[in-house]
Chain A
Amino acid sequence: MVNQSRRDFLKTAALAGTAITGLSSKTKAAPKNILSEDRMGVLVDTTVCIGCRKCEWACKTAHDLETPSIEAYDDRNVFKTMRRPNSKSLTVVNEYKNSVEEKFPINVKVQCMHCDHPACVSACIVGAFSKQENGSVIWDTDKCIGCRYCMVACPFQVPAFEFENALKPDIKKCDFCFERTKEGKLPACTEICPVEAVTYGRREDLVKAAHQKIKNYPDRYINRVFGEYEVGGTSWIYLASREFEKLDFPKLGKDPAPGVSEAIQHGVFAYFVPPVALYALLGGVMWINKNKKKSENEEI
């Protein structure tokens, strides 16, 4: 309840702010930050992914980011280094050695997990971030002030900042192709994937399908669906043939990440402790100095 009131406060503050400065703020019909039962998700089957990186190409093309030709993505030398999503590539595929079947390396696609209880939404001080009804976690560029709290808060370290853009830097991350899905299209990566290693569907159905796969092929998968419970559940969920931690997935608990960041923030700011403490400290310093001066004067 505390969370909600804080968010409402920020939202109204942001709205009031924009109203005062005369900027128009788009009002969306869909309810924000409330988990819908029909929210969508993606099931990533890392045992199926072949590392063709067509998703990377499709993502860049869909988001008007600079990209080499599609043929250039056949070059597997990129797998020599581990990559992370950044402001120029919102999704990347990494490759891990398969000690059991050398011919079948393990490829893992990395992008925003679109948490059910996103830490970025909670951490954003201007309410630019929101969890949409369809599951995607997006942000309003117009509201963003570039504080980069979202980057610090994210348990997956996904949001990236356009440091190279000095004049109007923006936060960049996978937006679950919000503009495409709004038009009834599929997210670009799930549409292009030749082997359908990334399956788009209702999160609930995907979780069920994932468990069915584990049941049907116990030798193929470890008995865990990453993202089902991690940090309170994510819209993107993963299946793998080995421990997720070995594939550079972070070790996370089941509690939603905002629980941690909000507890610190709320704790610090509760009952106006920091300003009161600051003024008390400053007052104390002044009082000591005053006393010091007084005694010095008296000595002379």
Chain B
Amino acid sequence: MKTRMLILFIFCALIVNAQTQKKVHPNLNGITCKTCHSCDIPTKENPCVIPCPREKMISIDQSPEEGPSVLTIDKFKKQTDIYAPVIFSHRLHAEMSGMSGGCKMCHHYNPPGQVIGCSDCHELIRKRTDVSKPDLKGAYHRQCMECHRSWSGKVECESCHVLNGKKQDIDSKTLVAKSEKRIHPKIIAPTILKFNTPKATGKIVTFYHAQHVDLFGLECQSCHTNESCVKCHAKDKTALLKAKTTEQKHSVCSSCHNTKQNCNSCHSNSVQEGFNHATKTGFDILKFHGKVACSICHTEKGKFTGLNSECINCHGKWTQENFQHKVTGVILDETHLTLECKDCHQEKNYSKPICSGCHEDKSFPKNVPGKLIKKNG
């Protein structure tokens, strides 16, 4: 009896465990518990998390709006403090991190679930036994100084702190309210960028930034993964003009394009035209397929050839039943509704119809086989 009860108990425990695992970590693709946990059954009380597996971390990103807008860092406030607590514009900083790694830029231990704050791991008290990771004060400052040093090159405390006892121009409440309103201004993305490369032939690379965003549907983070704040906020711009290797220069493009071959697809001796599906392939996508993502038709990743302009490639065979003719801008009248598609459209891309099959004296678009409507978009 006892063993039965025990088995039942274990069974229940396993079910509960499986359910909570799903709840705590919703998107675990191909990652076992052991990637992060050292014990077999991690519990909330004893998660037995492997210390800071910074590499190969499963990380989540939240939008800056989801986090707090302002934080007053006064966890270690003491009477004897030299400096007043910092009022930290979290949201503004979160927005800035968008192109440089997101939340994990500071929240370097950032597993699925709620974002983990610094004080969850870093001890508040400096005098401690575990010296493997810095205390909270050290952890905070290290995160701040990493960017602030490269940004301003200065380390003076008063760029963030106010000296205690020093008269302030603005009281902390107003400062909090002010910081709450501070958001990063919208980043103005360029339309076209022309790069002058040192290449002997094919000196110019014309990069259509707007097209990559609007037409190819790329997110900022798809390319801008590791941008330094200094790229925009450098006080000394010369530091940015550091020599890069050819590989480093191509790294932004090489995640999608093969930069080892076909140099000419980007490099040219003159400014190149932007991508135009109609001129490049003879199939004008702007007419009906402007809002369709590339991958809907070009299903194989990275392969964009092999399709022709025949509708059947993607849509299958059109019939009167499965095709709403009004999307073309013409609502067919009753007579023409009964006809087969091919009676009028003899070409495989269903272009301009031919009336001569039935009518000797009529032609499109002079005569319309129904009612002409104004098309949306």
Contacts and interface: CB of A to CB of B under 8 A. Distances in A.
A206 B131 contact: yes
B373 interface: no
A186 B126 CA distance: 8
Contacts of B82: 70
A216 to B, nearest CB: 8
A52 B157 contact: yes
Interface in A189-224: 190-191, 193-197, 199-202, 205-206, 209, 212, 216
Interface stretch (B145-153, B289-297, B324-332): B145-153
B155 A199 contact: no
A243 interface: no
A201 B129 contact: yes
A293 to B, nearest CB: 76
B138 A50 contact: no
Contact of A196 (B134, B153, B155, B158): B134
Given A71-B163, A103-B239, A209-B132, A195 B145 contact: yes
A103 B150 CA distance: 6
Nearest to A201: B131
Contacts of B134: 195-196, 199
A291 B98 CA distance: 99
Interface in A56-90: 70-71, 74
B142 A195 contact: yes
Nearest to A104: B149
A69 to B, nearest CB: 10
Interface string B123-166: 00011110110110111011001000110010111100001000
A43 B142 contact: no
A67 B285 CA distance: 74
Contacts of B156: 52, 74
Nearest to A206: B131
Interface in A119-135: none
Nearest to B230: A103
B150 to A, nearest CB: 5
A199 B141 contact: no
A71 B158 contact: yes
Contacts of A212: 132
User: Which of the listed residues B139, B150, B157 has the most CB atoms from chain A within 10 Å of its own CB?
Assistant: B157
Given A71-B163, A74-B156, A194 B127 contact: no
A51 interface: yes
B240 to A, nearest CB: 11
A48 interface: yes
A50 B143 CA distance: 12
A102 interface: yes
Contacts of A196: 126, 134-135, 137-139, 141-142
A46 B229 CA distance: 24
A113 B158 CA distance: 31
Interface string B242-263: 0000000000000000000000
Contacts of B141: 194-196
A103 B149 contact: yes
Contacts of B150: 103-104
A216 B135 CA distance: 18
Contacts of A202: 129, 131
A198 to B, nearest CB: 10
B49 to A, nearest CB: 16
Contact of B138 (A51, A104, A194, A201): A194
Given A50-B155, A195-B141, A195-B145, A209 B131 contact: yes
A201 B135 CA distance: 12
Contacts of B54: 216
A205 B149 contact: no
Contacts of B145: 50, 195
A191 B126 contact: yes
Contact of A193 (B138, B155, B157): B138
Interface in A153-211: 184, 186, 190-191, 193-197, 199-202, 205-206, 209
Which residue of B127, B131, B149 has the most chain A CB atoms within 10 A of its CB atom? B131
Contacts of B129: 201-202, 205
A186 B127 CA distance: 7
A133 B359 CA distance: 111
A166 B176 CA distance: 56
- Max chain B C-beta neighbours (<10 A), residue from A54, A195, A212: A195
Contacts of B239: 102-103
Contacts of B139: 196
Contacts of A71: 158, 163
B74 to A, nearest CB: 15
Contacts of A197: 138
Interface in B15-69: 54
A202 B127 CA distance: 11
Contact of A194 (B132, B157, B163): B157
User: 10 tightest CB-CB pairs across the interface, nearest first?
Assistant: A196-B138, A201-B131, A74-B156, A194-B141, A196-B134, A50-B155, A195-B141, A103-B150, A209-B132, A209-B131
14 contacts: A50-B149, A51-B155, A71-B158, A103-B153, A103-B239, A104-B149, A104-B150, A190-B126, A194-B137, A194-B141, A195-B134, A196-B138, A196-B139, A199-B134
Given A52-B155, A195-B145, 19 more contacts: A51-B155, A52-B156, A52-B157, A70-B163, A71-B163, A74-B155, A74-B158, A103-B150, A104-B149, A104-B150, A190-B126, A194-B157, A195-B134, A195-B141, A196-B135, A196-B142, A200-B126, A201-B129, A216-B54
